A and B are shown apart, each in its own frame.
Chain A
């Protein structure tokens, strides 16, 4: 099994996961690099990603498994080749042999940039730090069996806030990537439901890294 490490940023953040799953196989086709296909009447290239990324979120740590067919170009040459065949914002950083299975991914580190049009970033930082210091954070969250009131605090492994100028609060968080998985978006939902007076006017989410059980970077 082979693996790609790639970024999905900027305009590409607006591509859905399904769009991505069409785009990457096409990029292999364009690059003229043959990869393993599924069997069946409507065969398509076989690729799978570690954790689907929500629309609007960016990432610099996406992982995708595929299998090069024998006789194809070397993995080292692959990023350059693929990058000329991908839309703006999707950039392959590395191609390598996958040694560890996705199931060893334990956590996801993300940066959330919260924008407050009316300023007050310092006070917001204080209030949010206090909010997330609570021992329980119950929000209405989508689960496998519909929407449910759920305490997301256990899923947030670490969280910190820092003001960056008058209008911006930067949040660094690490959330669970193992069942029950927590989308970093939940941090914003917590703010919007439990402290609506501190709801941001706009926010961006950027995945920074995937982590294993020891807290080391998973690639």
Chain B
């Protein structure tokens, strides 16, 4: 390590974030293509991201390709870096990001946008795609946010839509060819647009109506009118890195994470993940057991967690858990199931997991009343939640967390109050069934502020105003009749900004840039988030955030992300929206296919 860097590491908190050198990091010297893989948040968050770990392995597995990790510095480190002229560098070798061929970002959260700009700037790379003339420092971005990457269109050269395992190697191979043959950037980008799943924003002209809505999206130079996301068809063959990097410092998910399947059969109407990851593709029990064993052995972790959108929908879940427990118990390794659903909650499963460790339970009914749960297609009945809680209390659990959203379309005050009523019923279950009352009970209700997202049936809906959200929070708080139930709610400001950015268009680029200039950093952190600064950026740029956040769109309006196809047809979203307005449920993919269109990505197959 250079002494210059060492000197500044003495002055910052948690210096291990910035050193690299962990077990299983991959260092490949003298490769033809070098990728700086940037995560626009702290080390401990980024290293907990399974997608990043997978793609790190995928790229490093390619011959003649080296991929190194880069994370966002915390404010103390950024200050030292700027004062001491230390440019952003990759952890593995300390090589400056500016010297990499490809600078890749993974974007999972809109609140990271300002950090993308900040990292480019710390690297000494021009922010605007148009100011980077050569083929070096190609900036590519993937992750769930890029299904509408328009707000970042000024800064990013290429968006990678969907799963990168197969797509990224194709992109890198093209890059290698372009680099070897000395192509211009223009030629390279045009060729990249021909690879399925790659969206090159500079090849699209966007025009606007006088009311501010999009008038037309015009592909230039023969670029495809619609870009379809990529998926991995056979999850058993998809690379899963079992020799994963083991961070030396504590990270958020300090354990082995098993991905049972991608996609979700449920189709909750507010849920972007539920739509954009369609269709469901599962791994087999054999694959998962092998991956679990190998990763536990190579990492030395003593905890494994099952992570999928709705893990209890994994068909052979009982078999998997049996197999895992058989391996884990003698090794004193614990198994955690983060996302269980209340409806098919299995007593047996809970008891099995309990043998190894007992942690708190979480349920996400999302809405308090049955009417609203039907409207959002959250197929959970009150009896299910109460049953699950009863079983848990009988089994000795005494902590339950319940998650809800406020501001869902069609929500009334009655629906809000129903949240308190449901929590109260849970408390009653505890009073009636707890096996051990002496330990007391902790029931926590958390509410978040609904953010309408692209590629969902609610993509046209308005977000309620912050004032209205706060009124509903207060209403709920006042409806809680007992101190035994704790209530906490998310800050409305973050969700309002998230709503503006999530459904934004290219005109937000200058707002993000202005906010960054004014000092916006790591906006997902309450310590650094400054809402007023963002509002100043909007007003200085003459852009109204309400136009994006609280405005209902017409169904015939051209949406800024209409060039992106996630596999689900717009007609399906419209249908689901109309069913929502009638409080009508749709069956899940297993109970009955609604022909959303996503099977076309997988040769007509879903969830087999």
Contacts and interface: CB of A to CB of B under 8 A. Distances in A.
Given A87-B22, A87-B23, A23 B332 contact: no
Given A16-B16, A85-B300, A87-B246, A43 B332 contact: yes
Interface stretch (B3-11, B412-420, B441-449): B3-11
Nearest to A15: B248
A218 to B, nearest CB: 27
B21 interface: yes
Interface of A: 10-12, 14-16, 18-19, 22-23, 25-30, 32, 37, 41-44, 55-56, 85-89, 115, 202
Contacts of B249: 15-16, 19
Interface residues of B, number: 28
A89 to B, nearest CB: 6
A42 B18 CA distance: 30
A89 B1 CA distance: 12
Given A16-B16, A23-B248, A42 B21 contact: no
Contacts of B10: 56
Contacts of A15: 16, 248-249
Contact of A19 (B248, B296, B300): B248
Interface of B: 1, 3, 6-7, 9-10, 15-16, 18-23, 25, 246, 248-250, 296-302, 332, 357
A204 B20 CA distance: 19
Nearest to B10: A56
26 contacts: A10-B21, A11-B19, A11-B20, A11-B21, A12-B21, A12-B248, A14-B15, A14-B16, A15-B249, A16-B16, A22-B250, A23-B248, A26-B300, A29-B296, A29-B301, A30-B297, A32-B297, A43-B332, A44-B302, A56-B15, A85-B300, A87-B22, A87-B248, A88-B23, A88-B25, A115-B3
B298 A30 contact: yes
A29 to B, nearest CB: 4
A134 to B, nearest CB: 27
A46 B246 CA distance: 20
> Per DSSP, are chain A's interface residues mostly helix, strand or loop, or mixed?
mixed
A30 B23 CA distance: 11
Contacts of B6: 202
Contacts of B299: 26, 30
Contact of A26 (B3, B19, B246, B332): B246
Given A10-B1, A55-B15, A87-B248, A37 B301 contact: no
Given A14-B18, A56-B9, 10 more contacts: A15-B248, A19-B16, A19-B249, A28-B300, A30-B298, A30-B299, A30-B300, A32-B297, A41-B357, A202-B7
B21 A88 contact: yes
Contact of B250 (A19, A44, A89): A19
Contacts, number: 70
4 closest residue pairs by CB, A with B: A26-B300, A11-B21, A29-B300, A88-B21
Nearest to A44: B302
A151 B9 CA distance: 30
B369 to A, nearest CB: 39
Contacts of A32: 297
Given A15-B248, A19-B16, A19-B249, A89 B21 contact: yes
Nearest to B331: A29
A115 B21 CA distance: 25
A151 B23 CA distance: 42
Most chain-B CB neighbours within 10 Å: which of A15, A27, A37, A86? Answer: A15
Contacts of A87: 21-23, 246, 248
A16 B13 CA distance: 11
A115 B3 CA distance: 11
A28 to B, nearest CB: 7
Most chain-A CB neighbours within 10 Å: which of B15, B18, B301? Answer: B15
A56 B10 CA distance: 7
A26 B298 CA distance: 9
Contacts of B300: 25-30, 85
A25 B249 CA distance: 14
Most chain-B CB neighbours within 10 Å: which of A44, A86, A87, A115? Answer: A87
A55 B18 CA distance: 14
A121 to B, nearest CB: 16
A14 B19 contact: yes
Nearest to A88: B21
A55 B7 CA distance: 13
Contact of B23 (A41, A55, A85): A85
Nearest to A26: B300
A14 B19 CA distance: 7
Contacts of A11: 1, 19-21
A94 B26 CA distance: 27
Most chain-A CB neighbours within 10 Å: which of B20, B25, B302? Answer: B302
Contacts of A37: 332
A86 B23 contact: yes
A56 B16 CA distance: 10
A86 B25 CA distance: 11
A14 B21 CA distance: 10
Contacts of A41: 357
B440 to A, nearest CB: 19
A10 B296 CA distance: 27
A15 B19 CA distance: 9
A163 to B, nearest CB: 18
B360 to A, nearest CB: 15
Most chain-A CB neighbours within 10 Å: which of B3, B18, B300, B302? Answer: B300
A128 B9 CA distance: 26
A19 B296 CA distance: 19
A203 to B, nearest CB: 9
Contacts of A25: 300
Contacts of B23: 30, 85-88
Contacts of A43: 332
A55 B6 CA distance: 12
A14 B1 CA distance: 11
Contacts of A26: 246, 299-301
Contacts of A42: 357
A42 B20 CA distance: 29
A87 B248 CA distance: 7
A78 to B, nearest CB: 15
B356 to A, nearest CB: 10
Contacts of B20: 11
A20 to B, nearest CB: 8
Nearest to B6: A202
Contacts of B19: 11, 14
Most chain-B CB neighbours within 10 Å: which of A11, A19, A22, A25? Answer: A11
A43 B21 CA distance: 28
Nearest to B16: A14
Contacts of A86: 23
B242 to A, nearest CB: 12
Contacts of A115: 3
A63 B468 CA distance: 61
